Amino acid sequence: MTLLGQVVAASAEVAATRSRKAKTTTLATLLARLEPDEIRPATAWLAGEMLQGRTGIGWRTLQSVSPSPAETSTLSVGDVDAALDRLAALAGSGTGVGRRRADELGALLDAATEDEGRFLVRLLGGELRQGALEGIMIEAVAAAAETPAAAVRRAFMLSGRLPTTAHTALTGGDLGAVGLEVMRPVRPMLASPGDSLDAALAELGPPDGDPGVVVEHKLDGARIQVHRRGDEVRVWSRTLREITDAVPEIVALTRALAVETVVLDGETLAVAEDGRPRPFQESMQGLGSGARGTERSGADAIERVMQPWFFDCLHRDGVDLLDEPLAARREVLAEVVGDRLIPGVVRPTAAQAESAVADALAAGQEGSMVKALDSTYSAGRRGRAWQKVKPSHTLDLVVLACEWGSGRRRGWLSNIHLGARGEDGFVMIGKTFKGMTDATLTWQTETFPRYETHRDSWTVYLRPEIVVEIEIDGVQTSTRYPGGVALRFARVVRYRDDKTAAEADTIDTVRALRA
């Protein structure tokens, strides 16, 4: 039996060191001693998540409880997981449910030591949801199971759940048997920022050589993953949230394809009558997630048509294609989706590549993707086989806090504090109030308090969950912020409903942009 205190001690030890090797060793040591039924919950907690997802516990409930901490550690991993199950089962609202939820939480925290209680409050409040440990956790699972990290990483991509992958690895299961399953989403492959078109082409090889590259439109839309088996179609977002009911047009289109089973990767966006893309926020409204900072009066009057474009095919009629080169996957994709293939030029000359980028911008898209045609499909940003090229540089950052405005902005939450993802949390690298419309300010003021951890007379501090896309003119060395860098002329582009904090740009990415 493993005590919660041992998990908390390992988490604290990991946070106290900057050494990746030391972090991996600490986590692997703990993972190796876990009982089989402890692996999934403990792995989730160490990555800042809960198996139960949301439990309905908000910061008001957490702050309303005044526990009397235990003197010694007695709570086991199983005890805590069972308590979280009970909390998650107390769904709904109302005085009775709220009281029972507070009583259950109070009993859990009363049984915890002071350190364990702090850990649980941060876990329940979302403050451990940093996502920065994902890569280290994969290495730790591999070390504890004495198996190659590549095998763990691939099984994680295909299962979509790190706790499930850890359980398979640590109980002697066959990671190689974890394969692609139609109707189970795969963690998506992501692109790395490219410095420029010329730099991307130079890094990936001669564009018109062998194997060469493809230069595709980078749509200003929302990532989708579409699965079909017979007449059944299901659609997921980039965060693997199912959105099938929100996109009937995509479901109908996929049912009409001449296949029995298929797994497609692509994007969808709202389009105007002339076929040009509508703003990103309207695409997110079309997915039922709600728009952040948009003028809803105009958008609500528009009948949105969500059009999908596909850029990859991972499976077709019983044949998995993940390990095939992109060139082969793209040929299959073209056969399957026809004119829904994302616009692009295969093995272009340098001049043709420049023309393809110009065409994408002229069509109202946000830029281009340059992809190596020999690249296989790998979840996350593994290497730089896919690179996105945009006319201006943007970063996806996390909102750490927001200050109340003054003057014309009095009464609105305005100036946001920006954080990049570090190994043990988020590192502040700047502030901005530029690029915000009145609608954005209204949305911030209405929404940010839902993520509040605490406040002072000037600032509301938030759980690190909201992702915002920031356009910058550059990055410079600075001692003003903890990250050692500062953003030049940072401006809000949009809030990213489609991304989690775990997908925010890292502090290393930001530092690499220093002039």
418 and 375 fall within a common domain? no
218 catalytically annotated? yes
461 and 377 fall within a common domain? no
The H or E element spanning position 311 is: strand 305-316
Looking at 326-462, list the stretches that DSSP marks H as alpha helix, in order from N- to C-terminal side.
326-337, 350-362, 438-447
For residue 506, give every residue at least 6 positions away whose Cβ sits within 8 Å of its Cβ, in sequence order, or none. Answer: 132, 420, 421, 422
Q: Looking at 140, 175, 210, which one is the last position of a domain?
A: 175
* Euclidean distance between CA atoms 58 and 87, whole angstroms: 12
Q: Looking at 389, 423, 456, which one is the last position of a domain?
A: 389
| Per-residue pLDDT tens listing for the chain (515 residues) | 999 999 999 998 888 887 889 999 999 999 999 999 999 999 999 988 888 877 667 667 777 778 888 889 999 999 999 999 888 887 666 666 778 888 888 889 999 999 998 898 888 877 665 444 778 899 999 999 999 999 999 999 998 889 999 999 999 999 999 999 999 999 999 888 888 899 899 888 777 667 799 999 998 788 999 999 999 999 999 888 899 998 898 999 999 999 999 999 999 887 665 556 555 555 555 565 433 333 333 334 334 567 899 999 999 999 999 999 999 999 999 999 999 999 999 999 989 999 999 998 888 888 899 999 999 998 776 678 999 888 778 899 999 999 999 888 889 999 999 999 987 789 999 999 999 989 899 999 999 999 998 998 899 999 899 999 999 978 888 888 888 898 988 999 999 988 888 889 999 889 988 75
* Euclidean distance between CA atoms 116 and 60, whole angstroms: 20
Structure tokens at 309: 């474009």
88 and 221 fall within a common domain? no
The total of structural domains in the chain comes to: 3
DSSP per residue, 227-265: EEETTEEEEEETT--B-GGG-HHHHHHHHTSS-SEEEEE
314 and 412 fall within a common domain? no
CATH assignment at residue 500: 2.40.50.140
* Euclidean distance between CA atoms 499 and 295, whole angstroms: 21
Q: Looking at 389, 406, 441, which one is the last position of a domain?
A: 389
* Euclidean distance between CA atoms 478 and 235, whole angstroms: 44
CA distances from 183 to 28, 158, 231, 241 (A): 32, 11, 12, 13
* Within-domain flag for 276: yes
CATH assignment at residue 371: 3.30.470.30
CA 123 to chain centre: 18
476 and 412 fall within a common domain? yes
342 and 224 fall within a common domain? yes
Q: Decide: pTM greater than 0.85.
A: no
101 and 198 fall within a common domain? no
**Which residue among the candidates 218, 371, 390, 431 is catalytic per the annotation?**
218
For residue 56, give every residue at least 6 positions away whose Cβ sits within 8 Å of its Cβ, in sequence order, or none. Answer: 87, 88, 90, 91, 92, 101
Residue range of the domain that includes 459: 393-511
256 and 344 fall within a common domain? yes
401 and 385 fall within a common domain? no
